Amino acid sequence: MKVVMSVPELETFLDREFPEMHQGGKTMFVEHVQDGEIVMRFKADERHLRPGGTISGPSQFALADVASFVAVLAHVGPVALAVTTSANINFLRKPSPGDLVATARVLKLGRRLVVIDCEIAGGTDGQLVSHAVATYSLPG
Amino acid sequence: MKVVMSVPELETFLDREFPEMHQGGKTMFVEHVQDGEIVMRFKADERHLRPGGTISGPSQFALADVASFVAVLAHVGPVALAVTTSANINFLRKPSPGDLVATARVLKLGRRLVVIDCEIAGGTDGQLVSHAVATYSLPG
Amino acid sequence: MKVVMSVPELETFLDREFPEMHQGGKTMFVEHVQDGEIVMRFKADERHLRPGGTISGPSQFALADVASFVAVLAHVGPVALAVTTSANINFLRKPSPGDLVATARVLKLGRRLVVIDCEIAGGTDGQLVSHAVATYSLPG
Amino acid sequence: MKVVMSVPELETFLDREFPEMHQGGKTMFVEHVQDGEIVMRFKADERHLRPGGTISGPSQFALADVASFVAVLAHVGPVALAVTTSANINFLRKPSPGDLVATARVLKLGRRLVVIDCEIAGGTDGQLVSHAVATYSLPG
C-alpha cells in the first residue's frame, strides 16, 4: 500500500475541489501521510462545540469522513469522485476541550471498494474519543 | 410505545437546550410526531451543499442524528443527557436538490438503551437517499 | 424493483449452490417473495440455542445474512457470486422460544452495490428481536 | 485497562458457561491475553467452509463475537450476562485456507458499555480478512 500524494498535494486538492469544506474558516489540516495511514488535525471553533466545550457527534463524524476520504485520495490519487457508501461510528467518551486528531488507516484497497479505519483522539490527554469505519466506492 | 412530547414541546426544548444547532440559521424542523415515530424536515442552505447542489454525507449524518435524538426525546421526555453511543449510515443515492425528510422510528425503547432506525428521503421525488441506525444511552 | 425469481427457484438455487447451509439439517426456508422484499423462516434446533432457549447472536446474524442474500438473488437473478461486503446488526431483545422470521427489504439496487434492510421478529408474539443492514457487491 | 482473567481461567469459564459453543467439536481457542487485548484462534472444520475452502461470513462473525466477548470477560471478570448489543463487520478479502486468528482490543471499558475492535487475520499469509466492532452491555 503505497502513498501517491504528499501532504501539500492533498491540501491543494482539497482546497480546490471542496472549497465548501472551509466555509466559515479552515478547521481541518492534513498533518502526516505514510504508507497505509494519514493523520488529520481538527481545530474546532464555536460552530462545532456543544455546551461544556465538547465537540458534537456530527462534527466528529465529519472529521472521520474527511480523514477517511483523504486516506483514500492519498493511496489512489486525486479522484474527486470517490463516494462514501457507508460508515459506522462509535462514540467512546466526551472529548475534553482542545484539538481532535484523526488517524485513518487503510484496511482494504480494492479496485472498486476501499475500507478505512479511523481513530479520533482528543484533548490534551490524547485519549480515544471515537472510532469509525468507512467504506468508499471508486468510479469506473 | 407512547409519545410523551408534542411537536411544539420538542421544538421549544431543542431551541433552549441546543441553540448551537441553529447557528447560521435554523434548518431542521420537527414536522410530525406519533407513537413510535417522528418526522423531521431539513431545509439545506449553501453551507450543506456539495458541488452540483447535493447535500453532503456529514450533513445527512447530522440530520439522522438530530431526528433520532428527537425520536428518543419524544418517547422518554426531555432528557438532555441522552447520548449517542453509536451510529451506522448507508448512503444510497445522491439527493437531488430540495429538502430532505427524515423519518425516525423507535426499534427498541429500553431502560438504558434506545435504538432508532432513520430513513432519509429527498428532493421532489421522495426517493430514499440514506438510511441510518443509531443507539442512544440514557442516564441513570 | 421487480422480483425475477420465485420461491421454488430460490430454494432450488440455494440447495444446489450452498448445500453447506443445510449441514446438520435444513433450518432456513424462503416463505414469500414480492417486489422489493422477501420473507424467510428460521426453525432453530439445539445447535443454535443458548441456555434458556434463546437463539444466539451469531445464529441471528447468519439468518440476516442468508435472508439478505436471498433478497439480492430474488432481484438480480441467480448470481452465486454476490459477496457480503459489510453488515451491521443491532440486537434488540432476547427472542422467546420459537421460530424467527426475517423480512429483508431492498434499500438500494445498484449496478455494483445492493443494500438490504433486514428485520428479525420472533417467537409467538412476533416482537422485533434484531435489525440488520447488509451490503452486497455484485461481480463484473 | 488491567486484565483480570488468565487464558486457562477464560477457557474454563467458556467451557462451563457456553458448552453449546463446542457442539460438534471445539474450534475456538484463547491463545493470548494482555492488558487491553486478547487473541483467539479458530480452527475451522467442514461445517464452516464455503465452496473453495473459504470460511463463511457468518462463521467469521461468530469468531468476532466470541473473541470480543472473551475480551470483555478478560477485563471485567466472569460476567456470563454481558450481552452483545450491536456489531458491525466489514469483510475485506476471502480468507485462504487455514486457521483464522482474531485479535480483540478494548476501545472503551465503561461501567455499562464495553466497545471492542476485532481484527481477523487468516491463512498462512496472515492478511487481514475482516474487521468488526462490537458493543456489549454489562448488567446491573
Do the beta carbons of residue B119 and residue B103 sit within 8 Å? yes
Q: Tell me the per-residue pLDDT of B31-74, one tens digit each, with 9 for 90 and over.
A: 999 999 999 999 987 666 666 668 889 999 999 999 999 999 99
On the question of pLDDT at D44 being above 70, the answer is: yes
Amino acid at C1: M
Interface B:D, Cβ pairs < 8 A: 16
**Which one has a higher pLDDT value, C32 or B95?**
C32
Pairing verdict, β A37-42 and A49-50: unpaired
CB contact (8 A) between residue B90 and residue A91: no
The mean per-residue pLDDT over the stretch C53-74 comes to 93
List chain A residues with CB under 8 Å of B65: 57-58, 61
Averaged pLDDT of chain A:
90
The mean per-residue pLDDT over the stretch D85-95 comes to 95
Percentage, residues of chain B above pLDDT 70: 92
List chain A residues with CB under 8 Å of B58: 58, 61-62, 65
Direct distance between the N- and C-terminal alpha carbons of chain D, in angstroms, rounded to an integer? 20
* Domain coordinates in residue numbering, chain A: 7-137
pLDDT band for position A16 (50/70/90)?
A: confident
Supply the pLDDT for residue B51: 64
On the question of pLDDT at B18 being above 80, the answer is: no
Percentage, residues of chain A above pLDDT 70: 92
Q: Considering Cα of C15, then C16, then C17, then C22, what sign does the dihedral take?
A: positive
pLDDT band for position A21 (50/70/90)?
A: confident
Q: What is the longest distance spanned by two Cα atoms in chain D?
A: 46
Supply the pLDDT for residue A116: 98
Nearest CA in chain C to A112: C112
Residues of C at the D interface (Cβ-Cβ below 8 Å)?
A: 18, 20, 23-24, 46-47, 49-51, 56-58, 61-62, 65, 83-91
Which of B104-113, B119-128, C118-127, D120-129 is modeled with the greatest confidence? B104-113
> How many CB atoms are located within 10 Å of the residue C136 CB?
24
Supply the pLDDT for residue D47: 67
> The complex's ipTM?
0.93
**Which one has a higher pLDDT value, D64 or B96?**
D64
CB contact (8 A) between residue D108 and residue A92: yes
List chain A residues with CB under 8 Å of D135: 90
Interface C:D, Cβ pairs < 8 A: 66
pLDDT band for position A125 (50/70/90)?
A: confident
To 5 degrees, how large is the angle CA D83–CA D112–CA A57? 105
Query: What H or E segment, with its residue span, contains residue B133?
Result: strand B127-137
Give how far C33 is from chain D: nearest CA, Å.
Answer: 23
Q: What is the CATH number of domain A7-137?
A: 3.10.129.10
On the question of pLDDT at B83 being above 70, the answer is: yes
Supply the pLDDT for residue A97: 80
Supply the pLDDT for residue B139: 84
Do the beta carbons of residue D10 and residue D73 sit within 8 Å? yes
Among the residue ranges C83-92, D21-30, D36-45, D63-72, the one predicted with the least confidence is D21-30
Q: Tell me the per-residue pLDDT of A83-101, one tens digit each, with 9 for 90 and over.
A: 999 999 999 998 888 899 9
Query: Which chains reach chain C with 3 or more Cβ–Cβ distances below 8 angstroms?
Result: A, B, D
Supply the pLDDT for residue A85: 96
Nearest CA in chain C to B128: C107
On the question of pLDDT at D50 being above 70, the answer is: no
* Residue A45 CA: distances (Å) to CA of A15, A25, A131, B23, D125: 19, 9, 21, 12, 46
Among the residue ranges C99-103, C128-132, D12-16, the one predicted with the least confidence is D12-16
On the question of pLDDT at C88 being above 90, the answer is: yes
Residues of D at the B interface (Cβ-Cβ below 8 Å)?
A: 85-86, 88, 112-113, 115, 135, 137
Which residue of D81, D84, D86 is the best one to mutate when testing the B interface, meaning the one whose CB has the most B CBs within 10 A? D86
Fold of the domain built from segment(s) B7-16+25-137: Thiol Ester Dehydrase; Chain A (3.10.129)
pLDDT band for position D7 (50/70/90)?
A: very high
On the question of pLDDT at D46 being above 80, the answer is: no
Supply the pLDDT for residue A117: 98
List chain D residues with CB under 8 Å of B132: none
At residue A137, what are phi and psi to the nearest 5 degrees? -105, 135
Question: pTM, whole model, 2 decimals?
Answer: 0.95
At residue B62, what are phi and psi to the nearest 5 degrees? -60, -40
